[in-house]
């Protein structure tokens, strides 16, 4: 029994469709895990490291108040945990995941602009890479 019809492509069997859905789900969970690990580490560092160490790693903490740096760390931690919310329950965790992915995309975009304006090319490229793995998670989990 064939299930889908696409012009120019052979129909996909139900077993093949399930396998493809499984691979897609695995890829999305892998991306979610990478994003969550990165932002847990980044948020934890912003909360626990002395401001002098953060200024040595990134230039922007030198230009803002310390509570803003700590606040960004808290936001990163909360959004990272929201990316993993479906582990508790898909029914409950889907909306925190979508909100967290949207929030992280916004945060990554702002930080891309901040790092680009500060001429931190390496950190700007890190934010481009983070956007490249967070956007597919948001689109794939809608």
Q: Please name every residue paired with 6 in a beta bridge, in sequence order, or none if there are none.
A: 9
pLDDT recorded at residue 140:
94
pLDDT recorded at residue 9:
73
pLDDT bucket at 11, cuts 50 / 70 / 90: confident
Q: Give percent of the chain above pLDDT 90.
A: 73
- Contact criterion met (CB below 8 Å) for 100 and 83: yes
Asked whether residue 2 carries a pLDDT value surpassing 80, the answer given is no
Q: How far apart are CA 8 and CA 69, in angstroms?
A: 53
- Backbone region of residue 92 per phi and psi (left: phi > 0; alpha: psi in -120 to 50; beta: other values): alpha
Model confidence pLDDT, tens digit, residues 75-102: 999 999 999 999 888 788 889 999 999 9
- Contact criterion met (CB below 8 Å) for 49 and 78: no
- Contact criterion met (CB below 8 Å) for 115 and 78: no
- Is the pTM value of this prediction over 0.95? no
Q: How far apart are CA 94 and CA 79, in angstroms?
A: 13
pLDDT bucket at 6, cuts 50 / 70 / 90: low
Cα–Cα distances in angstroms (integers) from residue 82 to residues 17, 42, 141, in the given order = 29, 15, 13
3-state secondary structure of 14: helix
**What is the pLDDT of the chain when averaged over all its residues?**
91
């Amino acid at each position: 029994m064939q299930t889908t019809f696409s012009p120019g492509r052979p129909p996909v069997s139900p077993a093949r469709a399930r396998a493809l859905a499984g691979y897609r789900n695995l890829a999305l969970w892998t991306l979610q895990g990478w994003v969550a690990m990165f932002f847990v580490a980044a948020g934890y560092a912003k909360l626990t490291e002395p401001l002098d160490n953060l200024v040595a790693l990134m230039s922007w903490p030198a230009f803002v108040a310390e509570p803003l740096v700590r606040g960004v760390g808290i936001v990163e931690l909360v959004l990272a945990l929201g990316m993993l919310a479906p582990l508790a329950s898909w029914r409950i965790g889907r909306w925190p995941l979508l909100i967290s992915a949207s929030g992280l995309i916004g945060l990554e975009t702002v930080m891309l602009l901040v790092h680009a304006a500060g001429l931190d090319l390496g950190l700007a490229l890190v934010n481009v890479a983070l956007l490249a793995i967070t956007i597919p998670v948001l689109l794939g989990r809608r």
